[in-house]
Chain A
Amino acid sequence: MAIFPSKDWVEAVLEAAKKSEAYREAAKEWEGDFLCIVEGDEEFLRELGRKEVMQGFVSLMDMIPAQDRAKYKGTPTGKVFESLGIPVDVSIKDLNVDEVMNKAAKLSAEDIKGVSLYVWADFWHGAVRNMMPVAPGEHEDAAFKLSGVYSAWKLMVSGKQDTIRLIMSNKLQLQGNMSYMMKHMKAVVLLTKEVFAGVPID
């Protein structure tokens, strides 16, 4: 079981992609990176009340080099970091998660409005060449951008709901070359079914 989103989850997804022969075969002609934008919502706020989720969140943020993480300064996400006592420009490895949680308990739905986490994933010829959290403004030129609130992302990465239905219901918003995506739908479907859903999340 992995926490979404967390460093463990990113690593498990990379591993699941390597293991899935069906995905590799279906995506062997796919060339295109994704910028995934996870927006904070009430479910995210509730989930941050769980220590393991907060730890996962911190571990994910810690994957971003401190100098890049500094780009969060002044953004709604940066302001939440500030109120949680999470420094954006120095290492957060030794952060006291209990203290952060105490502060998180005081956050309201209003505070979390506009909070966004960015994960960049580079899909290439059946492999996931790279997947990592990034700072705002990075990889803006990704071939595809997929954005939506945390609860919608969780439905997708858990495999409880298929990506296309989430997009068509406007729960997730997709930008990019639709025609290209339609020609590689099997790869998209298997990415959800085999790779994301192959990593059970808690």
Chain B
Amino acid sequence: MYFEIDSKVRDDKGLRLLRNETHRFAEEVMRPAAKKLDRMPDPEQVIAKGSPYWNVLKEMKAMGYHRLFFHKDYGGLGLSAIEAHIILEELGWGSVGLATAIGVDQVPAGVASLFAMGDVTDNLVIPWAEDTEAKFHGCWGVTEPECGSDYIMATQESFLPYVRELHPGQVRADKSGDGWVINGPKASWLSSAPAATHVGLHVTLPPHDSLANGAFCIVPLDQKGVTKGKPIDKLGLRDDPQGDLVFDNVYIPDDYMIIRPPFYELRVGQILCLTSCFMGTIFTGLARAAFEEALEYSKNRTQGGKPICEHQSIKHKLYAMFEKVESSRYYTRKVMEHVWEKTYIEGTFDASSRHALSAQIYGKRSAFEVAHEAVQIFGGYGLTKDFLVEKLFRDARAGLIEDGTTEVLGLSAAYNIIEQYC
């Protein structure tokens, strides 16, 4: 296990045990399942009854990983930012696909735990938090066929003067009696959607003139009018099924409209801060996994009469990979502490989005660069399915697009930097 440079973490027995136990879970439960899921030729097998996907999901729920982001008064574990960060890095080390599945799982009820009250907390959030059988499984409905990562821009306050230049959105909610009726399509890139029971859905509200005139609601996916697409066949993150959702006059009660004007863009921007920390951290876990694979391999693989780690070119690579993993861990952790404080301790929801977004970008980019170099160190073997680095590389590449392309994430952060840096 890596050397922890923060003595407050290193000397804390509880944190050490947490790291070791989560690592054991990642190694013994997640990795074998992720390998099987990754190799399934038909993506529909991933969500079929009896698939390892469901077993891992149940085991993750039994461990409580599905409520890391819930408010502590509504089923949350009440963890510190460091505890959450340690868990997420290990889950990402085990599999970023399955870590993503447990991440999006908490979007519908987790967001409700932060902002809702009444029936939805009693009848959905609490049972969700207590679920250990994967009776509930969530996904996050953001991206749309005609406006991919646009929602990320629309929730950046500094971008709002320009938001009408974007597509006005395809999924719409209109008032109907005591509730809402939803129509429109979400794109094929919704993580876990083909397997989910509920979606945390972004919609626009009348007059449907802008993505910023939006709302976040929960839609049970067994409602009449919901069509789930088949899981797509893709390059990476094959252990997390992705697919589209289409809504045709789907009714939800008013209680399920969780974030509405005038809070939508600002509150959702803060949710993105949480998810950005999440993504940055799990991809740090992937980076570390790739580095550790490469380091180990370089000590055992002999070329020119000596282990390849004794060749200077490999030494250069190993050092650069180490530097990326370590800086990614401590940057994402620091940002998570900041976002955690603003969300769960102070409750002010005014975290710095430029820092959260850069934590996500940095974690993902580090993962890709480290996995790329790991494959290079493995040489031809790195391209074969015999070694984990091949999967890690494909997953890291998918990460540059998942949850917002790094370009759009960076653009969104740039608006914030220009307006609010000082």
Which residues of A line the B interface, CB within 8 A? 161-162, 164-171, 174-175, 178-179, 182-183, 185-186, 188-189
Contacts and interface: CB of A to CB of B under 8 A. Distances in A.
B320 to A, nearest CB: 40
Contact of B117 (A161, A178, A183, A186): A161
B346 interface: yes
B258 A168 contact: yes
B347 A164 contact: yes
B370 to A, nearest CB: 37
Contacts of B254: 170
Interface stretch (B230-238, B262-270, B306-314, B395-403): B262-270
A185 B350 CA distance: 7
B115 interface: yes
A186 B350 CA distance: 8
Contacts of A169: 115-118, 255
Contacts of B347: 162, 164, 189
B348 A185 contact: yes
B350 A182 contact: yes
B266 A178 contact: yes
10 contacts: A162-B347, A165-B115, A168-B263, A168-B267, A169-B116, A174-B262, A186-B346, A186-B350, A189-B346, A189-B348
Contacts of A186: 346, 348, 350
B266 A168 contact: no
- In terms of DSSP, what is the predominant structure of the interface of chain B? loop
Interface residues of B, number: 19
Given A161-B117, A167-B263, 12 more contacts: A165-B117, A166-B117, A168-B258, A168-B263, A168-B267, A170-B260, A182-B350, A183-B350, A185-B349, A186-B348, A188-B348, A189-B347
Nearest to B254: A170
Nearest to B265: A178
A165 B259 CA distance: 10
B326 interface: no
B263 A178 contact: yes
A178 B350 CA distance: 13
A72 B157 CA distance: 41
Interface in B87-131: 115-118
A177 to B, nearest CB: 9
B123 to A, nearest CB: 14
Contacts of B348: 185-186, 188-189
Contacts of B263: 164, 167-168, 178
A152 B181 CA distance: 27
Nearest to B350: A185
A122 B349 CA distance: 24
A164 B115 contact: yes
A164 to B, nearest CB: 7
A174 to B, nearest CB: 7
